[in-house]
Structure 1
Amino acid sequence: MPFLSAAAVTAVLVLSGCAGGTEIETGGEEDRFISGDGSATEFEPGERAAAPEVTGTTFEGDELSLSEYEGRILVVNVWASWCGPCRAEQPVLDEVHAEYGDLGVDFLGVNIKDDETAAAAYTANKGVEYPSLYDQPGEIPQAFRETVPPRAIPSTLVIDPDGNIAARVIGPTTYGQLTGLLDPVVVEFDLGDPEERVRISELEGYGEGAESTDDAEPGDDAEASEEAADEDAPGGDGD
Structure 2
Amino acid sequence: MFSASDKPEGGLAGRSAGRPARRAVIAGALALPIAGFLSACAPEQSSLSQQANEGNNKNYIAGDGSVEVYDADQRTDPVDLTAETYDGESVSTTDWRGNVGILNFWYAACAPCRVEAPHLRELHDEFKADGVTWLGINGRDEKATAEAFERTFEVPYSSVPDSNGRVLLQLTKYVPAQAYPTTLVLDKQGRVAARILGLADKSTLKALIETALAEKA
> TM over 0.5, yes or no?
yes
Q: Does 1:80 align with 2:107?
A: yes
Please report how far the alpha carbon of residue 50 of structure 1 lies from its aligned counterpart in structure 2 after TM superposition: 2.2
What is residue 70 of structure 2 aligned with on the other side? Answer: 43
Residues 12 and 174 of structure 2 are in contact (CA less than 8 Å); yes or no, is this contact kept in structure 1? no
How many residues are aligned here?
Answer: 174
What is residue 193 of structure 2 aligned with on the other side? Answer: 166
What is residue 213 of structure 1 aligned with on the other side? Answer: none
Note closer, same or farther for the CA distance 1:15–1:112 as it changes in structure 2 (3 Å cut): farther
SS in 2 for 1:33: coil
Please report how far the alpha carbon of residue 92 of structure 1 lies from its aligned counterpart in structure 2 after TM superposition: 1.1
Q: Which deviates further from its counterpart, 140-149 or 154-163?
A: 140-149
CA RMSD of the aligned region, Å? Answer: 2.5
State which structure, 1 or 2, has the greater radius of gyration over its C-alpha atoms.
1
What is residue 66 of structure 1 aligned with on the other side? Answer: 93
Listed one character per residue, the Cα deviations across residues 76-124 of structure 1 (whole Å, up to 9, x for unaligned) are 0000001001001101101111101112211110011222211111112
Q: Does 1:114 align with 2:141?
A: yes
Q: How does 1:163-202 map to 2 (within 5 A)?
A: 163-189=190-216
Note closer, same or farther for the CA distance 1:189–1:15 as it changes in structure 2 (3 Å cut): closer
Please report how far the alpha carbon of residue 149 of structure 1 lies from its aligned counterpart in structure 2 after TM superposition: 0.9
Please report how far the alpha carbon of residue 135 of structure 1 lies from its aligned counterpart in structure 2 after TM superposition: 1.2
Note closer, same or farther for the CA distance 1:51–1:147 as it changes in structure 2 (3 Å cut): farther
Letter of the 1:114 partner, please give it: D
Structure 1: 5+ residue stretches without partners: 1-13, 191-239
Residues 78 and 153 of structure 1 are in contact (CA less than 8 Å); yes or no, is this contact kept in structure 2? yes
Residues 38 and 173 of structure 1 are in contact (CA less than 8 Å); yes or no, is this contact kept in structure 2? yes
Q: Does 1:23 align with 2:12?
A: no
What is the TM-score when the length of structure 1 is the normalising length?
A: 0.66
Distance in 2, Cα, partners of 1:95 & 1:46: 31
Letter of the 1:61 partner, please give it: G
Please report how far the alpha carbon of residue 16 of structure 1 lies from its aligned counterpart in structure 2 after TM superposition: 8.8
Please report how far the alpha carbon of residue 165 of structure 1 lies from its aligned counterpart in structure 2 after TM superposition: 0.6
Letter of the 2:83 partner, please give it: G
Note closer, same or farther for the CA distance 1:141–1:111 as it changes in structure 2 (3 Å cut): same
Q: Does 1:94 align with 2:121?
A: yes
Distance in 1, Cα, partners of 2:195 & 2:164: 21
Among 172, 178, 185, the residue aligned to 1:151? 178
Q: Which deviates further from its counterpart, 168-177 or 52-61?
A: 52-61
Note closer, same or farther for the CA distance 1:17–1:46 as it changes in structure 2 (3 Å cut): closer
Listed one character per residue, the Cα deviations across residues 122-166 of structure 1 (whole Å, up to 9, x for unaligned) are 112221111111111221121111122132110000011111110
